[in-house]
Amino acid sequence: MPSLGLPSIPAWVDSLQAKSRYAFRREEAIEGTGRSAFAVRMGLWRLVRKGRLLSPRRGFFVIVPLEYMGGGGLPANRYIHDLMAFLGQPYYVGLLSAAEIHGAAHQASQEFQIVTNRPVRTIQAGRARITFHVKRLLERTPVVQVKTVSGTIPVSAPEATALDVVQRPHVSGGLDNVATILAELGERLDPAKLAAAARILGEEAPAQRLGHLLDFVGHERLSGPLAKWLSRRKPYPVRLRPDRPAAGAKMDPKWLVLVNEAVESEA
């Protein structure tokens, strides 16, 4: 029997969506509807079974607009900020997902990649696969705020994105794809900001590999400040692919990179 004067669970969900809100906590539904915890839990579960809601974490729900119900759910960028607040972790959208946002989308990623400060299990929400990657000095990484339908989300700046994909080629489609991304991202990169992002990271090896790959794809104009910063650090030679031996590899004398893999860019 309907509770007099209390909104139904579906009506309350509809009212949130009307305000361009696409995520909520179970406690909000209890407070917003005035119903018991048991009634809310059952009502939300029925909406999950119908595909109107997704629940990527217990107690956290994502509203699926009717136009998305047959397509596997809402894009993750609509609710990632609320999800990370629910998890209580700082974050930014990074790696291939950031590269795509910045216009380097030659090979679109099949997952939404988040960089945060401690491990989080991969989330499958409908067809959206959200993966999490831990980074030291997360909060010092340069980011830009990007508008979405439901608000803004922090995305690694183009220069930080370039360093991230070079540092993590295994989750960035391999070195060939990293080179392609850098070729496409080059017009968005600022030489001074690139060197500043490398200083924040404080590690020479990723900057050396980035400099080598930027030269390889024809963006030598970007490497001046980066090379100057590295020269003061007096870096040691590094392998382009750290997980492969250096036997027979040729040295790039400018960046002190042992080129132990042949790289091809598709851009």
- Tens digits of per-residue pLDDT, 161-171? 999 999 999 99
Cα atoms found within 13 Å of the Cα of residue 152, Cβ hemisphere only: 6
Would residue 217 count as lying in a domain? yes
Would residue 2 count as lying in a domain? no
Residues 232 and 123 in one domain: yes
Would residue 103 count as lying in a domain? yes
Give yes or no for residue 222 having a pLDDT over 90: yes
Nearest alpha carbon to residue 213 among 234, 186, 192: 186
Give yes or no for residue 235 having a pLDDT over 80: yes
Task: Give the whole-angstrom CA distance, residue 112 versus residue 44.
Answer: 25
Would residue 4 count as lying in a domain? no
Residue 151's pLDDT band, with cuts at 50, 70 and 90, is confident
Cross-strand pairs, 23: 62
Residues 154 and 42 in one domain: no
Cα atoms found within 13 Å of the Cα of residue 231, Cβ hemisphere only: 8
Domain of residue 161 covers: 76-259
Would residue 266 count as lying in a domain? no
Residues 86 and 188 in one domain: yes
Residue 82: which region, alpha, beta or left (left: phi > 0; alpha: psi -120 to 50)? alpha
Residue 199's pLDDT band, with cuts at 50, 70 and 90, is very high
Would residue 110 count as lying in a domain? yes
Q: What is the pLDDT of residues 43-67, one digit of tens each?
A: 999 999 999 999 999 999 999 998 8
Residues 61 and 100 in one domain: no
42: CATH: 1.10.10
Give yes or no for residue 267 having a pLDDT over 70: no
Domain count, the chain: 2
Residues 51 and 148 in one domain: no
Residues 113 and 16 in one domain: no
- C-alpha triplet 18, 21, 23: angle, nearest 5°: 135
Would residue 267 count as lying in a domain? no
Residues 56 and 133 in one domain: no
Residues 107 and 231 in one domain: yes
Give yes or no for residue 226 having a pLDDT over 90: yes
Domain boundary among 50, 68, 86: 68
Judge if pTM exceeds 0.85. Answer: yes
Residues 132 and 245 in one domain: yes
Helix-, strand-, coil-residue percentages of the chain, each rounded to 5: 45, 20, 35
Residues 97 and 192 in one domain: yes
Residue 182's pLDDT band, with cuts at 50, 70 and 90, is very high
Q: What is the pLDDT of residues 6-15, one digit of tens each?
A: 889 999 999 9
Nearest alpha carbon to residue 74 among 123, 114, 10, 126: 126
Task: Give the whole-angstrom CA distance, residue 44 versus residue 116.
Answer: 29
Residues 18 and 57 in one domain: yes
